[in-house]
Amino acid sequence: MTSGAILTYAYFNSSTGKQRMKSEWIKVVHERQKWAKESIEAGNLYSATIAAGAAWADTAFLVTYLEQGNLSTGSMMLLMEKNWPSFGDYTDISYWLTNSENQASTIIRAVERFREFLRNKYPESCNNFSLSTIQDVLMGRKAKRLIRSKQFTNLSWQFAGEAFWLFLSTSEGRSIEEYLVSLPLPLQEDLEKLGFVALEVRHIERLCELSEELVSHATKKLLI
């Protein structure tokens, strides 16, 4: 470990460092929640769904860091699934997440088709990492590992995140609402399988509540 890494580790494991980390991290979560509320008020339920889901993910990563000392996506979902009492509420709302190997395969194909469509649409960017065929290979290897260990929920969550990354890479400043209607209908249907949906307001609000429960847990953890 370098001297800089040692100092960084020491800082974030100090009382002052932990409190500052909590403050900054939770500030981001509350910004996501505010975005969700404002999107609901504007009638943009796709954006509101993404914002509320992002708030939950941010707090889940914070809890994972505090519990396990890492920010691994795979570790986060396993920790939430095993130890968090409200994880079932989260997956009930996020109904595109699956426990089925067949459905997991459908999700994998959906991401591959989305990436292929974007490569054809943006040929000048096809060598960028997000659109590269190398990324298909890497995601395929990840999928095999997760299927082998029967982590189907984890797989569907990570592939949904991959699809969202592709959206961000090619959105060109458009909202998710604008972006989706610009796509061919079969791709819109593919993205629905990856969580690009407009949840009901009550479910969006419940996602925000679930993220706030995790904030409360993280706050208590930092006070130990």
Here the tokens at position 167 are 């959206």
CA nearest neighbour of 131 among 113, 142, 143, 118: 118
pLDDT attached to residue 29: 93
Instruction: Render pLDDT for 95-129 as a digit per residue (tens, 0 to 9).
Output: 999 888 888 899 999 999 999 999 998 887 766 77
Average pLDDT score, the chain: 87
pLDDT at 187: 96
The pLDDT assigned to 222 comes to 61
- State the alpha helices, DSSP H only, in 128-200: 133-148, 152-170, 176-181, 185-192
What pLDDT, on the 0 to 100 scale, is given for residue 219?
80
CA 91, CA 76: separation in Å to the nearest integer?
A: 14
What's the whole-number mean pLDDT along residues 196-217? Answer: 96
